[in-house]
Amino acid sequence: MASTLDTSSRRGRHVAARLDSDVIAWLTTVRPSGRPDSVPVWFIWHNGELVLYSRPRTTKLRNLAVNPLVSITLDDTDRGADVVRIEGTARVAETYPPAHQIPAYATKYAERIRSIGYGDPEAFARAYSVPIVVTVTRWRI
């Protein structure tokens, strides 16, 4: 069952701000062998879900095909004093719009997209063409 972020508290508002401003999160999936696999990802908080994009045929996609349970940790931890951990269920959302058609995503990552050689968000979206949507089931904030 989906869990909503309670933004009535100071901590909840802080986490919501981090979901908008943080640029790197660590996505942990589970390999079929049971071993965890953590990778850095770009993401946005969109319509109450986390959205990220992947290249096709990656380990994370193979893992999700077997086990959709994931953990996400925001990267900036203020020396461990500001950890945000999120548990959820991920799904490949083939009908979801590509990255360049989500203004918040294209704006958030435009500079980084250029700096890694894609030129513009549309070129990036062709390479990172698999949308993954994570429904949050538990906040560990």
Contact call for residues 132 and 52 (beta carbons, < 8 A): yes
Query: How far is 39 from 72, CA to CA, in rounded Å?
Result: 10
| Average pLDDT score, the chain | 95
Integer-rounded Cα Rg, in Å, for the chain is 15
Q: How many CB atoms lie within 10 A of CB 40?
A: 11
Give the domain CATH number at 21: 2.30.110.10
pLDDT at 54: 98
In a domain, 107, yes or no: no
Contact call for residues 87 and 140 (beta carbons, < 8 A): yes
Residue-range definition of the domain harbouring residue 19: 10-96+130-140
The 10s digit of each residue's pLDDT in 67-120 is 999 999 997 777 888 999 999 999 999 999 999 999 999 999 999 999 999 989
Q: Which helix (H) or strand (E) holds 54?
A: strand 49-54
Instruction: Please give the model's pTM, rounded to 2 decimal places.
Output: 0.94
Query: How far is 62 from 117, CA to CA, in rounded Å?
Result: 26
In a domain, 122, yes or no: no
In a domain, 120, yes or no: no
The 10s digit of each residue's pLDDT in 31-45 is 999 999 999 999 999
In a domain, 56, yes or no: yes
pLDDT at 78: 76
pLDDT at 96: 94
pLDDT at 15: 95
Residue 123 has pLDDT above 80, yes or no: yes
Residue 30 has pLDDT above 80, yes or no: yes
pLDDT at 17: 95
In a domain, 29, yes or no: yes
Number of domains present in the structure of the chain: 1
